[in-house]
Structure 1
Protein backbone atom coordinates (compact mmCIF):
# COMPACT_ATOMS: atom_id res chain seq x y z
CA UNK A 1 0.00 0.00 0.00
CA UNK A 2 1.41 3.38 -1.01
CA UNK A 3 1.06 6.17 1.52
CA UNK A 4 2.75 8.93 -0.48
CA UNK A 5 1.65 10.09 -3.92
CA UNK A 6 4.29 11.28 -6.42
CA UNK A 7 1.91 13.83 -8.00
CA UNK A 8 4.15 16.66 -6.82
CA UNK A 9 6.83 15.40 -9.23
CA UNK A 10 4.68 15.17 -12.38
CA UNK A 11 6.16 18.49 -13.54
CA UNK A 12 9.35 16.59 -14.43
CA UNK A 13 7.78 15.10 -17.57
CA UNK A 14 7.28 18.61 -19.04
CA UNK A 15 10.47 20.22 -17.76
CA UNK A 16 12.39 21.84 -20.62
CA UNK A 17 15.62 22.19 -18.62
CA UNK A 18 15.75 18.43 -18.19
CA UNK A 19 15.63 16.21 -21.23
CA UNK A 20 15.28 12.49 -21.81
CA UNK A 21 18.54 11.97 -19.93
CA UNK A 22 19.37 13.68 -16.63
CA UNK A 23 20.60 13.07 -13.12
CA UNK A 24 19.51 14.93 -10.00
CA UNK A 25 21.47 14.29 -6.83
CA UNK A 26 21.60 15.56 -3.28
CA UNK A 27 25.04 15.63 -1.63
CA UNK A 28 25.18 16.23 2.12
CA UNK A 29 27.53 18.66 3.78
CA UNK A 30 29.84 19.86 0.99
CA UNK A 31 30.10 23.28 -0.62
CA UNK A 32 28.88 23.53 -4.23
CA UNK A 33 32.43 24.35 -5.35
CA UNK A 34 33.77 21.24 -3.64
CA UNK A 35 31.19 19.03 -5.36
CA UNK A 36 32.21 20.48 -8.74
CA UNK A 37 35.91 20.07 -7.90
CA UNK A 38 35.33 16.41 -7.05
CA UNK A 39 33.69 15.86 -10.43
CA UNK A 40 36.99 16.88 -12.04
CA UNK A 41 39.95 14.56 -12.49
CA UNK A 42 43.06 15.51 -10.50
CA UNK A 43 41.96 19.14 -10.36
CA UNK A 44 41.72 19.44 -14.14
CA UNK A 45 38.62 20.60 -15.99
CA UNK A 46 35.56 18.38 -15.83
CA UNK A 47 36.91 15.89 -18.34
CA UNK A 48 34.37 13.28 -17.32
CA UNK A 49 31.48 15.39 -18.64
CA UNK A 50 30.24 15.41 -22.20
CA UNK A 51 30.97 18.88 -23.65
CA UNK A 52 27.26 19.48 -24.34
CA UNK A 53 26.39 18.85 -20.70
CA UNK A 54 26.66 21.17 -17.76
CA UNK A 55 26.42 20.61 -14.05
CA UNK A 56 24.36 22.93 -11.88
CA UNK A 57 24.64 23.12 -8.10
CA UNK A 58 22.79 24.91 -5.32
CA UNK A 59 23.05 24.76 -1.54
CA UNK A 60 19.74 23.91 0.14
CA UNK A 61 20.04 23.46 3.88
CA UNK A 62 22.60 20.73 4.66
CA UNK A 63 22.44 19.42 1.09
CA UNK A 64 23.89 20.44 -2.25
CA UNK A 65 21.52 19.91 -5.14
CA UNK A 66 23.45 18.69 -8.20
CA UNK A 67 21.76 18.65 -11.61
CA UNK A 68 23.35 16.95 -14.62
CA UNK A 69 21.19 17.71 -17.68
CA UNK A 70 22.10 15.08 -20.26
CA UNK A 71 24.15 13.30 -17.60
CA UNK A 72 23.94 10.23 -15.41
CA UNK A 73 27.33 10.01 -13.75
CA UNK A 74 26.63 10.54 -10.08
CA UNK A 75 23.96 7.83 -10.11
CA UNK A 76 25.86 5.28 -12.20
CA UNK A 77 29.63 5.86 -12.45
CA UNK A 78 31.54 4.16 -9.59
CA UNK A 79 34.58 6.43 -10.03
CA UNK A 80 32.47 9.60 -9.81
CA UNK A 81 30.54 8.16 -6.86
CA UNK A 82 33.79 7.39 -5.03
CA UNK A 83 35.29 10.85 -5.68
CA UNK A 84 32.21 12.96 -4.98
CA UNK A 85 30.92 10.74 -2.18
CA UNK A 86 34.09 10.46 -0.09
CA UNK A 87 33.15 11.31 3.49
CA UNK A 88 29.56 12.24 2.65
CA UNK A 89 26.13 10.93 1.69
CA UNK A 90 24.50 11.12 -1.78
CA UNK A 91 20.95 10.45 -2.93
CA UNK A 92 20.73 10.31 -6.72
CA UNK A 93 17.98 9.80 -9.33
CA UNK A 94 18.87 9.35 -12.97
CA UNK A 95 16.47 9.21 -15.89
CA UNK A 96 17.82 7.73 -19.12
CA UNK A 97 15.38 7.07 -21.96
CA UNK A 98 17.95 5.03 -23.94
CA UNK A 99 19.35 2.95 -21.08
CA UNK A 100 18.27 2.25 -17.49
CA UNK A 101 16.94 4.73 -14.96
CA UNK A 102 18.77 4.49 -11.63
CA UNK A 103 18.14 5.29 -7.98
CA UNK A 104 21.29 5.33 -5.83
CA UNK A 105 21.93 5.93 -2.15
CA UNK A 106 25.67 6.33 -1.62
CA UNK A 107 27.59 6.68 1.64
CA UNK A 108 31.30 7.45 1.77
CA UNK A 109 31.65 6.81 -1.97
CA UNK A 110 30.05 3.33 -1.88
CA UNK A 111 26.56 2.50 -3.18
CA UNK A 112 24.53 1.30 -0.19
CA UNK A 113 21.31 0.80 -2.20
CA UNK A 114 21.15 0.98 -5.99
CA UNK A 115 18.38 -0.19 -8.33
CA UNK A 116 16.39 0.48 -11.45
CA UNK A 117 13.09 2.09 -10.37
CA UNK A 118 11.10 -0.28 -12.61
CA UNK A 119 12.85 -3.26 -10.95
CA UNK A 120 13.01 -2.37 -7.24
CA UNK A 121 13.25 -6.05 -6.33
CA UNK A 122 16.69 -6.24 -8.01
CA UNK A 123 18.80 -4.08 -5.69
CA UNK A 124 22.55 -4.01 -5.21
CA UNK A 125 24.93 -2.24 -2.84
CA UNK A 126 26.53 -2.80 0.53
CA UNK A 127 23.12 -2.87 2.30
CA UNK A 128 20.49 -3.31 -0.44
CA UNK A 129 17.64 -3.77 2.06
CA UNK A 130 18.31 -0.56 4.03
CA UNK A 131 15.50 1.46 2.39
CA UNK A 132 12.84 -1.26 2.11
CA UNK A 133 10.21 0.42 4.31
CA UNK A 134 10.68 3.80 2.62
CA UNK A 135 10.50 2.13 -0.81
CA UNK A 136 7.17 0.51 0.07
CA UNK A 137 5.75 3.82 1.28
CA UNK A 138 6.42 5.52 -2.08
CA UNK A 139 5.23 2.62 -4.24
CA UNK A 140 8.60 1.14 -5.21
CA UNK A 141 7.69 -2.29 -3.86
CA UNK A 142 10.90 -4.19 -3.06
CA UNK A 143 8.93 -7.42 -3.60
CA UNK A 144 7.59 -6.29 -7.00
CA UNK A 145 6.65 -9.19 -9.26
CA UNK A 146 8.48 -8.63 -12.55
CA UNK A 147 5.74 -10.62 -14.32
CA UNK A 148 3.02 -8.42 -12.84
CA UNK A 149 1.97 -4.92 -13.86
CA UNK A 150 4.65 -2.31 -14.42
CA UNK A 151 5.40 0.20 -11.69
CA UNK A 152 3.55 3.40 -12.51
CA UNK A 153 5.60 6.65 -12.49
CA UNK A 154 8.91 5.11 -11.39
CA UNK A 155 10.90 8.37 -11.69
CA UNK A 156 8.34 10.33 -9.70
CA UNK A 157 8.37 7.59 -7.06
CA UNK A 158 12.18 7.71 -7.01
CA UNK A 159 12.04 11.44 -6.26
CA UNK A 160 9.51 10.74 -3.51
CA UNK A 161 12.01 8.24 -2.03
CA UNK A 162 14.80 10.81 -2.31
CA UNK A 163 12.56 13.28 -0.45
CA UNK A 164 12.01 10.80 2.37
CA UNK A 165 15.78 10.41 2.78
CA UNK A 166 16.83 14.06 2.42
CA UNK A 167 13.79 15.86 3.78
CA UNK A 168 13.80 17.98 0.58
CA UNK A 169 11.17 17.95 -2.14
CA UNK A 170 12.74 18.56 -5.55
CA UNK A 171 10.78 21.35 -7.24
CA UNK A 172 10.97 23.63 -10.30
CA UNK A 173 12.10 26.41 -7.96
CA UNK A 174 15.05 24.30 -6.78
CA UNK A 175 16.02 23.60 -10.37
CA UNK A 176 16.18 27.34 -11.08
CA UNK A 177 18.63 27.78 -8.19
CA UNK A 178 21.17 25.54 -9.92
CA UNK A 179 21.82 27.70 -12.96
CA UNK A 180 23.83 29.40 -14.35
CA UNK A 181 25.85 26.23 -14.17
CA UNK A 182 29.50 25.39 -14.37
CA UNK A 183 30.18 24.27 -17.90
CA UNK A 184 33.06 22.02 -18.80
CA UNK A 185 35.53 23.55 -21.21
CA UNK A 186 35.62 22.54 -24.87
CA UNK A 187 38.16 19.83 -25.68
Structure 2
Protein backbone atom coordinates (compact mmCIF):
# COMPACT_ATOMS: atom_id res chain seq x y z
CA UNK A 1 0.00 0.00 0.00
CA UNK A 2 1.39 3.41 -0.95
CA UNK A 3 2.09 6.07 1.68
CA UNK A 4 -0.72 8.21 0.25
CA UNK A 5 -3.28 5.42 0.45
CA UNK A 6 -2.07 4.46 3.91
CA UNK A 7 -2.51 8.04 5.09
CA UNK A 8 -5.97 8.24 3.53
CA UNK A 9 -6.99 4.99 5.23
CA UNK A 10 -5.62 6.18 8.57
CA UNK A 11 -7.53 9.43 8.21
CA UNK A 12 -10.75 7.59 7.46
CA UNK A 13 -10.22 5.36 10.50
CA UNK A 14 -9.63 8.43 12.68
CA UNK A 15 -12.86 10.00 11.52
CA UNK A 16 -14.87 6.81 12.14
CA UNK A 17 -13.44 6.31 15.63
CA UNK A 18 -13.98 9.96 16.61
CA UNK A 19 -17.54 9.96 15.27
CA UNK A 20 -18.30 6.68 17.05
CA UNK A 21 -16.90 7.92 20.36
CA UNK A 22 -18.89 11.15 20.18
CA UNK A 23 -22.13 9.33 19.36
CA UNK A 24 -21.67 6.82 22.19
CA UNK A 25 -20.73 9.53 24.68
CA UNK A 26 -23.95 11.37 23.90
CA UNK A 27 -26.05 8.20 23.79
CA UNK A 28 -24.68 6.27 26.78
CA UNK A 29 -22.46 8.72 28.68
CA UNK A 30 -18.69 8.54 28.98
CA UNK A 31 -18.85 6.28 32.04
CA UNK A 32 -20.77 3.57 30.16
CA UNK A 33 -18.66 3.75 27.00
CA UNK A 34 -15.74 1.38 26.57
CA UNK A 35 -13.11 0.53 24.00
CA UNK A 36 -14.96 -2.40 22.47
CA UNK A 37 -18.15 -0.36 21.97
CA UNK A 38 -16.24 2.37 20.12
CA UNK A 39 -14.23 -0.13 18.06
CA UNK A 40 -17.33 -2.12 17.09
CA UNK A 41 -19.27 0.97 16.08
CA UNK A 42 -16.33 2.34 14.08
CA UNK A 43 -15.54 -0.99 12.45
CA UNK A 44 -12.00 -0.85 13.83
CA UNK A 45 -9.94 -3.52 15.52
CA UNK A 46 -9.58 -3.48 19.29
CA UNK A 47 -6.07 -2.54 20.46
CA UNK A 48 -3.91 -5.41 21.62
CA UNK A 49 -3.43 -3.70 24.95
CA UNK A 50 -6.18 -2.42 27.23
CA UNK A 51 -4.30 0.77 28.03
CA UNK A 52 -3.90 4.13 26.43
CA UNK A 53 -0.39 5.46 26.11
CA UNK A 54 -0.82 9.17 26.62
CA UNK A 55 1.70 11.41 24.91
CA UNK A 56 2.43 15.11 24.70
CA UNK A 57 5.16 15.91 22.21
CA UNK A 58 8.06 13.64 23.06
CA UNK A 59 7.10 13.28 26.72
CA UNK A 60 5.42 9.97 27.52
CA UNK A 61 2.65 9.91 30.09
CA UNK A 62 1.59 7.08 32.31
CA UNK A 63 -0.38 4.22 30.77
CA UNK A 64 -3.98 4.38 31.96
CA UNK A 65 -6.69 1.67 32.01
CA UNK A 66 -9.21 2.31 29.23
CA UNK A 67 -12.33 2.66 31.42
CA UNK A 68 -10.66 5.51 33.31
CA UNK A 69 -9.17 6.99 30.17
CA UNK A 70 -12.55 7.05 28.47
CA UNK A 71 -13.76 9.36 31.21
CA UNK A 72 -11.11 11.86 30.19
CA UNK A 73 -12.40 14.10 27.43
CA UNK A 74 -8.85 15.01 26.50
CA UNK A 75 -7.84 11.41 25.80
CA UNK A 76 -9.48 11.40 22.37
CA UNK A 77 -8.36 14.82 21.21
CA UNK A 78 -5.22 16.69 20.28
CA UNK A 79 -2.09 14.99 21.53
CA UNK A 80 -3.60 11.75 22.87
CA UNK A 81 -3.21 8.47 21.02
CA UNK A 82 -4.47 4.91 21.00
CA UNK A 83 -2.92 2.11 18.96
CA UNK A 84 -5.12 -0.23 16.87
CA UNK A 85 -2.96 -2.97 15.32
CA UNK A 86 0.00 -1.43 17.12
CA UNK A 87 -0.12 1.64 14.86
CA UNK A 88 -0.40 5.10 16.41
CA UNK A 89 -3.47 7.04 15.31
CA UNK A 90 -3.41 10.71 16.23
CA UNK A 91 -6.80 12.15 17.02
CA UNK A 92 -7.20 15.46 15.27
CA UNK A 93 -9.14 18.69 15.58
CA UNK A 94 -8.30 18.95 19.27
CA UNK A 95 -9.30 22.55 19.78
CA UNK A 96 -12.57 22.09 17.89
CA UNK A 97 -13.50 18.90 19.72
CA UNK A 98 -12.46 20.03 23.21
CA UNK A 99 -15.65 22.01 23.84
CA UNK A 100 -17.75 19.04 22.68
CA UNK A 101 -15.89 16.47 24.76
CA UNK A 102 -15.34 18.17 28.12
CA UNK A 103 -18.22 16.31 29.71
CA UNK A 104 -16.15 14.55 32.37
CA UNK A 105 -16.78 16.03 35.81
CA UNK A 106 -13.17 15.21 36.76
CA UNK A 107 -11.61 16.46 33.51
CA UNK A 108 -9.31 19.16 34.92
CA UNK A 109 -8.15 17.03 37.85
CA UNK A 110 -7.35 14.14 35.50
CA UNK A 111 -5.60 16.41 33.03
CA UNK A 112 -3.46 17.90 35.80
CA UNK A 113 -2.51 14.43 37.04
CA UNK A 114 -1.57 13.23 33.54
CA UNK A 115 0.46 16.41 33.04
CA UNK A 116 2.40 16.32 36.31
CA UNK A 117 3.12 12.60 36.43
CA UNK A 118 5.37 11.19 33.76
CA UNK A 119 6.09 7.59 32.88
CA UNK A 120 8.38 5.82 35.32
CA UNK A 121 7.22 7.66 38.43
CA UNK A 122 6.15 5.53 41.38
CA UNK A 123 2.73 4.14 40.52
CA UNK A 124 1.56 4.75 44.08
CA UNK A 125 2.32 8.46 43.84
CA UNK A 126 -0.54 10.92 43.35
CA UNK A 127 -1.14 14.65 43.75
CA UNK A 128 -2.01 14.24 47.43
CA UNK A 129 1.14 12.26 48.20
CA UNK A 130 3.37 14.56 46.18
CA UNK A 131 1.66 17.72 47.32
CA UNK A 132 0.63 20.37 44.82
CA UNK A 133 0.59 24.13 45.10
CA UNK A 134 0.01 26.81 42.47
CA UNK A 135 -0.34 30.56 42.72
CA UNK A 136 -1.69 33.10 40.22
CA UNK A 137 -1.07 36.86 40.54
CA UNK A 138 -2.65 39.74 38.64
CA UNK A 139 -1.42 43.33 38.62
CA UNK A 140 2.28 42.60 39.18
CA UNK A 141 5.03 42.50 36.59
CA UNK A 142 7.25 39.46 36.19
CA UNK A 143 10.12 41.08 38.10
CA UNK A 144 7.92 41.68 41.15
CA UNK A 145 6.62 38.12 41.11
CA UNK A 146 10.14 36.73 40.69
CA UNK A 147 11.27 38.77 43.68
CA UNK A 148 8.51 37.37 45.89
CA UNK A 149 9.35 33.81 44.86
CA UNK A 150 13.14 34.41 44.95
CA UNK A 151 13.55 33.40 41.30
CA UNK A 152 16.47 34.34 39.07
CA UNK A 153 14.95 35.51 35.78
CA UNK A 154 18.32 35.27 34.03
CA UNK A 155 17.89 31.48 34.23
CA UNK A 156 14.46 31.56 32.59
CA UNK A 157 14.05 28.78 30.02
CA UNK A 158 11.05 27.58 27.95
CA UNK A 159 9.23 24.80 29.79
CA UNK A 160 5.94 22.90 29.80
CA UNK A 161 4.24 22.17 33.10
CA UNK A 162 4.76 18.47 32.28
CA UNK A 163 8.52 18.95 32.72
CA UNK A 164 8.64 20.99 35.91
CA UNK A 165 8.61 18.14 38.42
CA UNK A 166 11.98 16.79 37.24
CA UNK A 167 13.52 20.25 37.07
CA UNK A 168 12.17 21.19 40.49
CA UNK A 169 13.73 18.07 41.98
CA UNK A 170 17.04 18.67 40.16
CA UNK A 171 17.63 22.37 40.80
CA UNK A 172 14.59 23.88 42.53
CA UNK A 173 13.19 25.41 39.35
CA UNK A 174 9.63 26.72 39.39
CA UNK A 175 7.28 26.94 36.43
CA UNK A 176 6.43 30.54 35.52
CA UNK A 177 3.56 31.23 33.13
CA UNK A 178 2.07 34.46 31.79
CA UNK A 179 -1.43 34.55 30.32
CA UNK A 180 -3.08 37.91 29.78
CA UNK A 181 -2.68 39.97 32.93
CA UNK A 182 -2.06 36.92 35.15
CA UNK A 183 1.20 35.22 36.14
CA UNK A 184 1.12 31.65 37.45
CA UNK A 185 3.82 29.89 39.46
CA UNK A 186 4.17 26.14 40.20
CA UNK A 187 5.13 25.13 42.82
CA UNK A 188 3.37 28.19 44.13
CA UNK A 189 5.48 28.83 47.20
CA UNK A 190 3.90 28.75 50.63
CA UNK A 191 0.11 28.70 50.89
CA UNK A 192 0.53 30.58 54.16
CA UNK A 193 -1.97 33.43 54.25
CA UNK A 194 0.69 36.06 54.91
CA UNK A 195 2.70 35.04 51.86
CA UNK A 196 -0.37 35.23 49.63
CA UNK A 197 -1.41 38.56 51.10
CA UNK A 198 2.09 39.95 50.50
CA UNK A 199 1.56 39.35 46.78
CA UNK A 200 -1.55 41.54 46.68
CA UNK A 201 -0.32 44.98 47.75
CA UNK A 202 -1.37 47.96 45.60
CA UNK A 203 -4.69 46.42 44.57
CA UNK A 204 -3.14 43.28 43.12
CA UNK A 205 -5.06 39.99 43.14
CA UNK A 206 -3.82 36.50 43.94
CA UNK A 207 -5.26 33.00 43.76
CA UNK A 208 -3.80 29.97 45.46
CA UNK A 209 -4.68 26.31 45.20
CA UNK A 210 -2.98 23.60 47.23
CA UNK A 211 -3.26 19.90 48.13
CA UNK A 212 -1.17 18.04 50.71
CA UNK A 213 -0.39 14.54 51.90
CA UNK A 214 -2.72 14.93 54.89
CA UNK A 215 -5.72 15.25 52.56
CA UNK A 216 -6.07 19.00 52.99
CA UNK A 217 -6.96 21.19 50.02
CA UNK A 218 -7.44 24.94 49.91
CA UNK A 219 -8.65 27.50 47.41
CA UNK A 220 -7.77 31.08 48.35
CA UNK A 221 -8.53 34.41 46.73
CA UNK A 222 -6.89 37.58 48.06
CA UNK A 223 -6.95 41.19 46.93
CA UNK A 224 -5.26 44.40 48.05
CA UNK A 225 -3.74 42.89 51.18
CA UNK A 226 -6.84 41.08 52.45
CA UNK A 227 -8.09 37.52 52.21
CA UNK A 228 -11.39 37.83 50.37
CA UNK A 229 -12.42 34.17 50.51
CA UNK A 230 -10.82 30.83 51.32
CA UNK A 231 -12.34 27.37 51.48
CA UNK A 232 -11.75 23.65 51.26
CA UNK A 233 -13.12 22.54 47.85
CA UNK A 234 -14.67 19.53 49.59
CA UNK A 235 -16.49 21.77 52.12
CA UNK A 236 -17.33 25.04 50.34
CA UNK A 237 -20.07 25.93 52.80
CA UNK A 238 -17.36 26.62 55.37
CA UNK A 239 -15.98 29.58 53.43
CA UNK A 240 -14.03 32.17 55.40
CA UNK A 241 -12.60 35.60 54.62
CA UNK A 242 -13.60 39.24 54.48
CA UNK A 243 -16.27 38.49 51.87
CA UNK A 244 -16.95 34.73 51.87
CA UNK A 245 -19.56 34.96 49.13
CA UNK A 246 -17.60 37.21 46.77
CA UNK A 247 -17.16 34.43 44.18
CA UNK A 248 -20.57 32.79 44.54
CA UNK A 249 -21.70 34.02 41.12
CA UNK A 250 -18.64 32.38 39.55
CA UNK A 251 -19.25 29.09 41.34
CA UNK A 252 -22.62 28.50 39.70
CA UNK A 253 -22.73 25.13 37.97
CA UNK A 254 -19.61 23.84 39.74
CA UNK A 255 -19.94 21.01 42.24
CA UNK A 256 -17.70 20.94 45.30
CA UNK A 257 -19.43 19.36 48.29
CA UNK A 258 -18.65 15.66 48.62
CA UNK A 259 -21.67 13.37 48.43
CA UNK A 260 -22.47 11.09 51.35
CA UNK A 261 -22.64 7.28 51.06
CA UNK A 262 -26.42 7.46 50.68
CA UNK A 263 -26.09 9.27 47.33
CA UNK A 264 -26.06 6.91 44.37
CA UNK A 265 -26.69 9.23 41.42
CA UNK A 266 -24.78 12.34 40.37
CA UNK A 267 -22.21 11.49 43.01
CA UNK A 268 -19.63 14.19 43.75
CA UNK A 269 -16.20 12.74 44.58
CA UNK A 270 -12.89 14.31 45.54
CA UNK A 271 -11.60 14.48 41.97
CA UNK A 272 -14.67 16.42 40.86
CA UNK A 273 -14.26 18.85 43.76
CA UNK A 274 -10.65 19.47 42.71
CA UNK A 275 -11.75 19.93 39.09
CA UNK A 276 -14.32 22.48 40.23
CA UNK A 277 -11.67 24.46 42.11
CA UNK A 278 -9.47 24.51 39.00
CA UNK A 279 -12.44 25.54 36.86
CA UNK A 280 -13.13 28.39 39.29
CA UNK A 281 -9.55 29.59 38.86
CA UNK A 282 -10.13 29.64 35.12
CA UNK A 283 -13.27 31.71 35.59
CA UNK A 284 -11.59 34.24 37.89
CA UNK A 285 -8.59 34.62 35.59
CA UNK A 286 -10.83 34.54 32.48
CA UNK A 287 -8.56 31.93 30.92
CA UNK A 288 -8.76 28.34 29.74
CA UNK A 289 -7.08 26.54 32.62
CA UNK A 290 -6.28 23.55 30.38
CA UNK A 291 -5.16 25.09 27.09
CA UNK A 292 -3.71 28.36 28.44
CA UNK A 293 -1.90 26.95 31.47
CA UNK A 294 -1.58 23.18 31.80
CA UNK A 295 -0.82 22.41 28.15
CA UNK A 296 0.87 25.58 26.87
CA UNK A 297 4.59 26.24 26.63
CA UNK A 298 5.71 28.76 29.24
CA UNK A 299 8.96 28.89 31.21
CA UNK A 300 10.89 27.81 34.29
CA UNK A 301 13.36 29.71 36.44
CA UNK A 302 15.83 28.60 39.08
CA UNK A 303 15.92 30.13 42.56
CA UNK A 304 18.32 32.96 43.30
CA UNK A 305 21.62 31.98 44.85
CA UNK A 306 21.61 32.13 48.61
TM-score by length of 2: 0.47
- Identify the range of structure 1 (20-29 vs 5-14) with the bigger mean alpha-carbon deviation: 5-14
Alpha-carbon distance, 1:4 to partner: 9.8
* Distance of aligned partners of 1:116 and 1:147 in 2 relative to their CA distance in 1, 3 Å threshold: farther
Cα displacement string for residues 35-54 of structure 1 (whole angstroms, at most 9, x for unaligned residues): 121234xxxxxxxxx99754
Select 1:91's aligned residue among 195, 198, 207: 207
Q: Trace 1:11-160 onto structure 2 (pairs within 5 A).
A: 11-16=111-116, 19=127, 20-40=130-150, 53-68=172-187, 73=190, 76-87=191-202, 88-140=204-256, 151-152=268-269, 153-160=272-279
SS in 1 for 2:301: coil
Which residue is 2:70 aligned to?
none
Cα displacement string for residues 121-144 of structure 1 (whole angstroms, at most 9, x for unaligned residues): 111111001112322321136xx7
Structure 1 unmatched ranges of 5 or more:
41-49
- Number of residues of Structure 1 aligned to a counterpart in Structure 2: 169
The answer to whether the 8 Å contact 1:22/1:72 transfers is no
- Identify the range of structure 1 (15-24 vs 29-38) with the bigger mean alpha-carbon deviation: 15-24
Structure 2 unmatched ranges of 5 or more:
1-102, 119-126, 151-168
Report the Cα distance in structure 2 between the residues aligned to 1:52 and 1:99, rounded to whole angstroms.
27
SS in 1 for 2:280: helix
SS in 1 for 2:198: helix
* Distance of aligned partners of 1:57 and 1:110 in 2 relative to their CA distance in 1, 3 Å threshold: same
Select 1:168's aligned residue among 268, 283, 287: 287
The answer to whether the 8 Å contact 1:54/1:184 transfers is no
**Structure 1 ranges of 4+ moved more than 3 A:** 3-6, 50-54, 144-151, 175-179
Alpha-carbon distance, 1:96 to partner: 1.8
The answer to whether the 8 Å contact 2:236/2:256 transfers is yes
Report the Cα distance in structure 2 between the residues aligned to 1:116 and 1:52, rounded to whole angstroms.
31
* Distance of aligned partners of 1:98 and 1:37 in 2 relative to their CA distance in 1, 3 Å threshold: same
TM-score by length of 1: 0.73
Q: Which has the higher contact order (CA 8 A, sep 6+)?
A: 1
Report the Cα distance in structure 2 between the residues aligned to 1:114 and 1:146, rounded to whole angstroms.
23
1:10 maps onto 2:110 in alignment: yes
Which residue is 2:301 aligned to?
181
- Identify the range of structure 1 (95-104 vs 3-12) with the bigger mean alpha-carbon deviation: 3-12
The answer to whether the 8 Å contact 2:229/2:239 transfers is yes
SS in 2 for 1:33: helix
